[in-house]
Amino acid sequence: MAKLNTKPNIAAPDDFYADLLAIHDGLSKEESDALNARLILILANHVGDRETLAEALAAAQARN
């Protein structure tokens, strides 16, 4: 089973962040929230492993 990777793992992270901001440009708060929800579900489907997804939920919920 896969284990959640929380170490930096994105090629050109600044470019990805710019792309992420760009797709939100001009959206209302509600539209932006809906886009984020769709993105989360698409990526969760890609991961697929329930245990890894549970780790991701716990990591996102933690307030370190």
Instruction: Express each pLDDT in 1-40 by its tens digit.
Output: 678 999 999 999 999 999 999 999 999 999 999 999 999 9
Amino acid at 34: A
Are 4 and 54 spatial neighbours (Cβ–Cβ below 8 Å)?
no
DSSP state of 11: S
* Whether residue 61 has pLDDT greater than 90: yes
Res 1: pLDDT: 60
Q: Is the dihedral of CA 7, 63, 2, 38 positive or negative?
A: negative
Residue pointed to by tokens 């996102």? 60
Which pLDDT band holds residue 63 (cuts at 50, 70, 90)?
confident
